Structure 1
Amino acid sequence: MSTVVAGPQVLRAAEWSAREAAHRSRARDLTAAHRERQSRGQRHPVEDFLFDYYTLRAGRLERWHPGTGVRLSPDGATPEDLARLDARAAWRWYRTTDDGAVEVDAARFVADRGPALSRLLTVLRATASRPAHLGCLGLHEWAMVYRQPPAERRHDLPLRLGAEGTDAVVESHPVRCTHFDAFRFFTPAARPFNRLQPTRESQAELEQPGCLHANMDLLHAALTLSPACPGDLLLDAFELARDIRVLDMRASPYDVTPLGLTPVAIETADGRAEYVAAQRGFAERARPLRERLVDVGEGLGL
């Protein structure tokens, strides 16, 4: 019996134009506050973190990609549609097919970015294969300010428990951070408290799906996989990362009440229970997104 190989999905102009517009509208809603602050030259330590940490511009989120295996047809296109289609054909890692449609040039994308994409997919697969470990309590943020002079702190916010109280939390709770990109910001004095010593090389061995930062990094994965990553998946990953960042700061040693946020007091039993419940919820939200990102990578033949 012969195997039937499905061809690309073809979207006529009315459909891809509507998807593009809907994506742009959703992205602009998600970035409206950030863009408004930018226009005033203001910064927000919680809401602007994703743009700073991932070197992300709001305009990049607004650019819609259909993903691989989708062709944007000129059939039924208005002159404005055709102009946008021609512009898209000139984007990096896009190509025009013989019938005038435009699609992601998956082969060129892999040829240019293959090693980085393979490394990313290795981490995503390994993380997805493990159970979620909960209860780290966000102590990575506390370890980042342990015995740190005030002038060296990343955020211009007071410590909720003061310096001595903050240090006491680090010293009296088990620190079990598995995420290298959090661990690397620990102060030198805090590093020995961590039960693990993550490195970039051990990332695929240690990353686990309960980690807030591993789930926040699904945004980085979606950006790395663009334009192969569909636009809706990118914005879903952004929304997840944004919501995780709020918990990350609420459970941090900083006093976030001036920002209109209620602290999660992880040094108390109630606070620990609140944190673990939220962490479990984020792990559940992240799971299907991580699986879709793996599918994107495997669709590229990685």
Structure 2
Amino acid sequence: MMQTDVVEEKISQTVPLNEWTSRMERHEQVLSDILDPYLEKRSKQEKDPVLDFLFQYYKFRPSHLRRWSPGVDVVLEHNGKTNRLPEVSELTVEPETAFLDPALFPEKRLRATRWIHELLVKTNASKPFFGCFGMHEWAMVYRAEGVRHNQVPLRFSDDRIAEIVESRPVLCTHFDAYRFFTDAARPLNKHDLTRDIFQDMEQPGCIHSNMDIYKWAYKLYPWISSDLIREAFLLAVDARTFDMKASPYDLRDRGLEPIKIETEEGRKVYLKHQTEIWERGLPVRKKLIEAYHKLISLVG
């Protein structure tokens, strides 16, 4: 029995050449519309508060994001011209097919894969919470000795920022945002967050949890479909844009008009956008849960 036959016993989806090449071309085009202008700006050392974060904090290079992978549960048909195949080193290439062989998935990564799958399932099952109004970004500069993004001006004085933070409840549930709070801000948060309770505190209404769908997707590149990684990335772009608009930074010269969460009207706008991000994130997270489940069932 050929290796392809063995793989096809486990893999349910075979994709014709014209279909997967079309998907690969669309992937490149959609991302080029975002990445080309960004890389041009970066070559001139111009800052981008949205995409800089997504490529520096999340550590997945634009070149990797561009590179299309079918994911582990797909067999690609081809005509022998292997130069047209995806540039994925893990791809097993045979005379008429190419695929990611589940047997080659690194066993040492299986434990972390199961942990992430469990996190995604728990988050998806949790009740969304919408009452934070983006105060996490304000808590990161509250009574700070130095501001992390010191190249970007703030909309208010330090005293006014402190007044705004102290006038609102701080209700962050996301540890990876909380850990950047200033020392003075942490005691103001309702929750004493730690890495140990990360899974228990994640909830799907959180802006950062929705951005993190992208992180959990690319963590398993190329075993997760790049179509899904791209969908998670586009969600993260919009979530980060919204996050920065609601922050205390003045980014109007970058095209980001502030959402004034210090006002009642601004909080209504915030709630509307946060709900929209949550609604968009639900199907993306569910697809990722299914992709993780599929991978674990194939390799575990």
TM-score scaled to structure 2, two decimals? 0.90
Q: Give 1:36's aligned amino acid.
A: E
Matched residue, 2:35: 31
Matched residue, 1:166: 161
Please state how far the C-alpha of 1:160 moved relative to its aligned partner: 1.0
For residue 254 of structure 1, the aligned residue among 246, 249, 263 is 249
| SS across alignment from 2:99 | strand
Return the alpha-carbon distance in structure 2 between the equivalents of residues 121 and 276 of structure 1. Answer: 28
Matched residue, 1:43: 47
Return the alpha-carbon distance in structure 2 between the equivalents of residues 86 and 257 of structure 1. Answer: 40
For residue 14 of structure 2, the aligned residue among 10, 17, 20 is 10
| SS across alignment from 1:71 | strand
Unpaired segments of 5 or more residues in structure 1? none
Structure 1 residues 87 and 59, CA gap change in structure 2 (3 angstroms): closer
For residue 103 of structure 1, the aligned residue among 96, 99, 104 is 99
Q: Bigger CA drift: 56-65 or 104-113? A: 104-113
Please state how far the C-alpha of 1:116 moved relative to its aligned partner: 1.5
Unpaired segments of 5 or more residues in structure 2? 1-8
Count of aligned positions = 289
Q: Give 1:104's aligned amino acid.
A: L
Return the alpha-carbon distance in structure 2 between the equivalents of residues 236 and 19 of structure 1. Answer: 13
For residue 65 of structure 2, the aligned residue among 61, 85, 96 is 61
Matched residue, 2:109: 113
| SS across alignment from 1:284 | helix
What is the aligned-residue identity percentage?
Answer: 39
Contact persistence 1:110–1:300 (CA under 8 A): no
Return the alpha-carbon distance in structure 2 between the equivalents of residues 87 and 229 of structure 1. Answer: 15
Q: Give 2:20's aligned amino acid.
A: W
Please state how far the C-alpha of 1:6 moved relative to its aligned partner: 7.6
The residue correspondences of 1:71-220 to structure 2 (distance < 5 A) are 71-74=75-78, 76-77=79-80, 79=81, 82-85=82-85, 88=88, 91-92=89-90, 94-96=91-93, 100-109=96-105, 111-149=107-145, 151-220=146-215
Q: Give 1:37's aligned amino acid.
A: K
| SS across alignment from 1:202 | helix
Contact persistence 1:65–1:230 (CA under 8 A): yes
Contact persistence 2:69–2:86 (CA under 8 A): no
| SS across alignment from 1:280 | helix
Q: Does 1:282 align with 2:274?
A: no
Please state how far the C-alpha of 1:242 moved relative to its aligned partner: 0.5
Please state how far the C-alpha of 1:127 moved relative to its aligned partner: 0.3
Please state how far the C-alpha of 1:194 moved relative to its aligned partner: 0.5
Structure 1 residues 247 and 226, CA gap change in structure 2 (3 angstroms): same
Return the alpha-carbon distance in structure 2 between the equivalents of residues 51 and 282 of structure 1. Answer: 20
Contact persistence 2:67–2:86 (CA under 8 A): no
Return the alpha-carbon distance in structure 1 between the equivalents of residues 86 and 175 of structure 2. Answer: 42
Please state how far the C-alpha of 1:152 moved relative to its aligned partner: 3.6
Structure 1 residues 16 and 201, CA gap change in structure 2 (3 angstroms): same
| SS across alignment from 1:201 | helix
Contact persistence 1:159–1:166 (CA under 8 A): no
Return the alpha-carbon distance in structure 1 between the equivalents of residues 96 and 184 of structure 2. Answer: 61
